Amino acid sequence: MTNTILEDRASPLASYPHARRAGDFLFLCGTSSRRADNSHAGVTLDADGAVQRDIAEQTRAVIENMAAILEAAGGGLGDLVDVTTFLTDMQDFQAYNAVYNEYFDAETGPARTTVGASELPHPNLLIEMKGIAYLPRG
């Protein structure tokens, strides 16, 4: 088994890799919209200091972060066979789906489960995704 750790992405918050390979399968850890500088895509401050969070922008950033992890391991989004998504607000489901559908389709996309989560590791996060990819060797 081997681990994938990307230096140009947000570092894991504890002792775990971005992904772990077991045979022909790559298991991606929960991935958020956090950037390497620890800021979050899809989060802005209004002039009055109020935090605004954008589920579409966060979803896009999460999927792009997953794509970078897969690429570093020799694959791509098309290699995902299963995705689990955690949303802090199921009212975001439609906007999340709209972005998800920009990257995947029912004919070739992964199996998917979406669950509501009361909170994620940072209050700015609206979404986290994890996945399993099939990357046959040789």
Express each pLDDT in 80-107 by its tens digit.
Answer: 999 999 999 999 999 999 999 999 999 9
pTM: 0.92
Name 129's Cβ contacts closer than 8 Å, sequence gap at least 6. Answer: 28, 30, 31, 62, 63, 66, 83, 84, 85, 86
The percentage of the chain sitting over the pLDDT mark of 70, rounded to a whole number, equals: 93
- Identify the CATH number of the domain in which residue 93 sits: 3.30.1330.40
Exposure letters 66-89 (e unless 16+ CB within 10 A, then b): bbebbebbebebebbebbbbbbbe
Cβ atoms within 10 Å, residue 95: 17
Output the pLDDT for position 137: 83
Q: How many domains does the chain have?
A: 1
Q: Is the pLDDT of residue 136 over 80?
A: yes
What mean pLDDT comes out for the span 68-89? Answer: 97
Q: Which domain holds residue 87?
A: 2-134
Give me the DSSP letters along 27-82: EEEEE-SB-TTS-BTTEEE-TTS-EEE-HHHHHHHHHHHHHHHHHHTT--GGGEEE
Euclidean distance between CA atoms 121 and 136, whole angstroms: 32
* pLDDT interval class at 15 (50, 70, 90): low
